[in-house]
Amino acid sequence: MNIKHFLPSALLLLSGATVTAQTHEPSVWEDFGSNLYIDVGGGVQTLFAPGWKDIAFGKQITPSFSLGVGKWFNPFWGIHFAAEGYSFNGFRPGGAYDPFSPLNRVDVGYDGSFRYYLRYMGLNADIRFSLLNLIAGRERKGAPYDLVPYIGIGYAHMFAYRGSTKENLFTGHAGVRNRFAVHRMVDVNLDVTAGWTDNYVNPVTDRYMTSMAVQVGVSFYPGRRAFRKPTVKVPVETFRYRTDTVFVREVPGRDKVIEFVPDHRNILGVVMASVRFAVNRSMAYKGQETQIYEVARYLREHPKAVVRIEGYADATSGSEDYNHKLAQQRAEYVRKQLVDTYKADASRIETKAIGTARQPYDDTTDTQWNCVAIIRLIK
């Protein structure tokens, strides 16, 4: 990702000029319990058997129930498992076909047609998509509505009932869930599902049977249901330039004030950025780019400003001469990044090698903090 495109949006979180070192991580699921939900539903369904239109509407419709559990792995897709079923009403046209099993206690019409009864229980698995999150390209946290298409396969056990035989069937289904968020932990759902199965439920040989179900249900989220936002890691040595003219050093759990600047007449000499290096290295750690970028932006927005890059080294290792050369290399590295990468005016950037003559972070237990190049505003 081009840092020039990424950084402005992240840094606008703080008004004014902001100098931070940040590392971003993608959204991940916190733990297994997050975005896990349990749902229950009930509704009606119909089986599109041959001649189904000749059955009175009230006899076409049968009840259905479901109990499921689902998991969203990210804002865009998840999986769902459910146990569902109850009954179907089938239909056999009179005179055309022989019964596919000995059926009794059925409703026989005057033309020899009859309605037969099916009782079943099924297990389904499907993959689900958050269509509106996919369109938005992000998690729409707190959105009151989502459209969730899904497709999957399953298994149905047909019970021996009123003459129909016991069978095990392969099934498939596809549908869409209208998901309404009514509470942080609760959704109300309206599901429309089309299903199909093999020809056991159809007395016409070699023909698959289709069905349609409409259910209203409730989903319950016992844990977190939002995904973690991109993580911002702030090293403890990072400085931020806030519009209240307070310069602070980020310390885990609190901000330590380094110096106050009462007004713009006294900002000369203050630290604009502190760029860290590994021991004996003249190339900065990854994640320091935001600090350098912000200094370059400040120089662009203030055409008369001049900065000085001071190179330092850790006094606990290496000779004084070696550390002085290393400090100069660190200062030149930062200057090169400002000029070559972020197009800052080279004539307004000075460098100075201080080496171990002074340790800017002698009040810390970590002496490697002094492997830095500090950028000061001097004009």
Q: What is the mean pLDDT of the chain?
A: 77
Which of 7-16, 48-57, 132-141, 320-329 shows the lowest per-residue confidence on average (mean pLDDT)?
7-16
Strands 114-129 and 77-92: antiparallel
- Interacting residues of 9 by C-beta distance below 8 A, sequence separation 6+: none
Which of 49-58, 65-74, 137-146, 245-254 shows the lowest per-residue confidence on average (mean pLDDT)?
245-254
pLDDT (0 to 100) of residue 198? 73
**Phi-psi region at 291: left, alpha or beta (left = phi > 0; alpha = psi -120 to 50):** alpha
Extract the runs of DSSP E, i.e. beta strands, from the chain.
Answer: 36-47, 62-72, 77-92, 107-108, 114-129, 145-159, 167-183, 186-197, 209-220, 239-241, 246-251, 254-260, 271-276, 307-312, 349-355, 372-377
Better-predicted residue by pLDDT, 276 or 117 = 276
Full set of structural domains in the chain with CATH:
3-25+230-377 (3.30.1330.60), 36-220 (2.40.160.20)
pLDDT (0 to 100) of residue 48? 82
Confidence of residue 199 (pLDDT cuts 50, 70, 90): low
Confidence of residue 10 (pLDDT cuts 50, 70, 90): very low
Q: What is the percent of the chain where pLDDT is above 70?
A: 69
pLDDT in tens, 361-377: 877 677 888 899 999 98
pLDDT (0 to 100) of residue 240? 43
Confidence of residue 316 (pLDDT cuts 50, 70, 90): confident
**What DSSP letter does each residue of 277-299 carry, written as one string?**
B-TT-SSBPTT-HHHHHHHHHHH
pLDDT (average), residues 260-280: 70
pLDDT (0 to 100) of residue 130? 95
pLDDT (0 to 100) of residue 173? 95
19 has pLDDT over 50:
no
pLDDT in tens, 222-233: 988 877 654 444
Give the position of tokens 């958050």.
130
Q: pTM of the full predicted structure?
A: 0.52
- Interacting residues of 248 by C-beta distance below 8 A, sequence separation 6+: 239, 240, 242, 255, 256, 257, 258
- Is the distance from CB of 344 to CB of 338 less than 8 angstroms? yes
pLDDT (average), residues 145-150: 96
